[in-house]
Structure 1
C-alpha cells in the first residue's frame, strides 16, 4: 500500500495482559458483564446507526461518516467527507474482510488487518464498535476504583491487535484507558478515553486520544452527529459500496 492509501481510522478496540487476581464476588461472568457495559458507551442504537468520525493528526483533520448495518452492527461502511483529496474514499468491513475503494478506482481492493494499521489510528479497530464482538475476556482484576480486563481476540477473528489491556471505571464500567498490543507482545498504541456526552438520554464516548507508543505521536478522535438512521442494506457489500455516491 502506498502512502495515498494510508487509512486514518481507529476505533476502538484494545487488548491487555496482566496477572489475574481473584476477589470475592467477582467471576469470569462478572468481568464479561463489565465489558458489555463498557461497550454501551459506543452503542448509540440497538440497531444500525451512523456518526461522524473526526481525526486530528499532526495539525491536519480528516472526517468520515461511519454507517453500521441495520441487521448486523459488525458490518460497517465508512465514507470520507474531508479533506478534499480524500472525499469519496470508502472503507467496508464485513467480519474479517476489509475493502478500500478510492474515488479514482473502478473496483475496491482487499485490505488485510495488517495493512489497516497504517496511520495513527487503525481503521481495522475503529470500525469494530464493540469490544465484545471481537474479543473474549481472559482475566480480570479490580484495582481500587478501576477494573482491569485482559482481552484476547476471539478464535477466527482477524484483528489488528490480538491483545488488549482495558481499564474501566468500577462505578459505571466507563472505559478509561486501553493498551493495544501486537502479537509479539509489543505495546503499539495507548488509547485514553477523555470525553463523554449525554445524547438522546444515553451517555456516549465522544472523544479519545490515541498515542503511538513507537514514536509517541498523538491523534485526537472526536465522535459527533449520531443518528439512528443508516444506509440501506444494499450498500453494505463489495459491490454495493461502488453504488453509493
Structure 2
C-alpha cells in the first residue's frame, strides 16, 4: 500500500479528516471543473505605491485523464506585451513572442510581475502535485483580519517541476475555502505569503476573486491578483499544442 493510502487509512481509523481530500476540496473551490476562461489583472505595489500592472486572458482545461489543468495565457496589457502567449501543458511551460515567432521553455518559478511567478497565474490543482499532511487544526486570520477555524496542511512536492518545493496551506474547516498559503523554496526560505479574498459566486460556487501576495522578506512589496470575466467556454485542443502557438488568433 502506498504512503498516501496508508495515511488516508490512518485518518479514517482515527476519525480525523483526510488531508488529501481537504486539499482536493480546496482546489475545487478555486477551480471550476469544466473548461473556462477568465481575466487576471496583476498590480504590484512597493511601500503602498503602484509600480507595475499587467492583464492576462487565461483559458483552462483539464487533461483528458481528469488530472492537472492545461492553460493558454494571452497577454492583453501592457501594450508592449499584447498577444504574447504562455502555454502550460503537463509539467512543460512555454513562452511565445509573436515578434520572434519562437517558443521558449520557461520555469514556473520565474517571476512574471512583482511576487507573482509564471506558475501563480495558471490554473493548478495542488492535490495532483503535492502530498498533504494535516499539521494542525487552528484559528488563523484571513485577508480581512477575521479569525477563521482552519485545517493547516503541510504540502510536499511529489514532482520536481512544480512552482514551490513546499507549501503551508490554511483551509476553512466550515467550507474548505483556502484562506492563506505560505510558499517555500527548496532551501526552506519563505518566498511569499498569499491571502485568498473577496469570495463571490462565479461559475456555480463561491470562489476567491482576489489573491494578495506578500514578499517573504519585504512585507511592503505586495502583488494583488484580481480575477474577472469568468465564463464557461470551449477550449480547443489545438490551442493547447505548442506547434499551434504561431497560428493562435484571439477571438
**Global fold match (TM > 0.5):** yes
User: Runs in 1 of length 4+ with deviation above 4 angstroms?
Assistant: 70-73
Per the alignment, residue 193 of structure 1 pairs with: 196
- Deviation of the 1:214 alpha carbon: 2.6
- The 2-side partners of 1:200 and 1:239 are apart by 31
Taking a change above 3 Å as real, the CA distance of residues 158 and 71 of structure 1, as seen in their structure-2 partners, is closer
The gaps in structure 1 that reach 5 residues or longer are: 1-21
Q: Which structure ranks higher in relative contact order (CA pairs < 8 Å, sequence separation ≥ 6)?
A: 1
Per the alignment, residue 130 of structure 1 pairs with: 125
Per the alignment, residue 49 of structure 1 pairs with: 36
Matched residue pairs, number?
220
TM-score scaled to structure 2, two decimals? 0.81
- Which of the pair has more CA radius of gyration? 2
- The 2-side partners of 1:223 and 1:118 are apart by 16
- The 1-side partners of 2:129 and 2:248 are apart by 27
Taking a change above 3 Å as real, the CA distance of residues 85 and 230 of structure 1, as seen in their structure-2 partners, is farther
* SS at 1:208 equivalent: strand
- The 2-side partners of 1:127 and 1:93 are apart by 8
* SS at 2:29 equivalent: coil
Q: Name the structure where strand makes up a greater proportion of residues.
A: 2
TM-score scaled to structure 1, two decimals? 0.82
Per the alignment, residue 234 of structure 1 pairs with: 238
Q: Deviations over 1:103-149 (max 9, x none)?
A: 32211111134435774201123314221122111343212411100
- Deviation of the 1:65 alpha carbon: 0.7
- The 2-side partners of 1:125 and 1:135 are apart by 15
- The 2-side partners of 1:118 and 1:208 are apart by 14
